[in-house]
Amino acid sequence: MKRSNTSGPSQRQLRVAEEIRHALADIFLRTEFHDAMLAKVHLTISEVRMSPDLKHAMVFCTQLGNKDVTPLLPSLKRVSPFLRSQIAPRLGLRVTPELKFLPDEALEEATKINKLLHTPEVLRDLEK
């Protein structure tokens, strides 16, 4: 029986994504990286999204203090094989997913929407 693609991620995708998020958060907390860009950075892994075949993971991260994480993306790509080797035993999957790091822009979007909702034009329309 084939699943339709219109419903969200499967329960397994969600479970594996959450395990990867916890593992990466633990690794970033306890590991000292030799890469100068990652040495003294505090990253927050906000979300992980898995592909349906569990071979690819999109890792959304932010830097503590609302700093831009974009300059760190090349360094994160370089340490990705090391991170995969560290999370592999924790997952117990046949194939450890490829990790693709992306900046998490959800907070910025929420801030923009909040500012928009507090503009005089919107407040005037809400009062009607």
pLDDT of residue 37: 82
**pLDDT at residue 82, as a whole number:** 93
Q: What percent of the chain has a predicted confidence (pLDDT) above 90?
A: 46
The per-residue pLDDT for range 17-32, each reduced to its tens digit, is 999 999 999 998 888 8
Q: Cα–Cα distance between 43 and 88 in angstroms, integer?
A: 20
Q: Is residue 4 a part of any domain in this protein?
A: no
Total structural domains within the chain: 1
Residue 91 covered by a domain: yes
pLDDT in tens, 30-52: 888 888 888 888 888 999 999 99
pLDDT confidence of 1, banded at 50, 70, 90? very low
Q: Which domain holds residue 24?
A: 11-127
| pLDDT score recorded for residue 125 | 76
State the Cα–Cα distance between residues 96 and 24, nearest whole angstrom. Answer: 13
Secondary structure of residue 19 in the 3-state scheme: helix
CATH at residue 66: 3.30.300.20
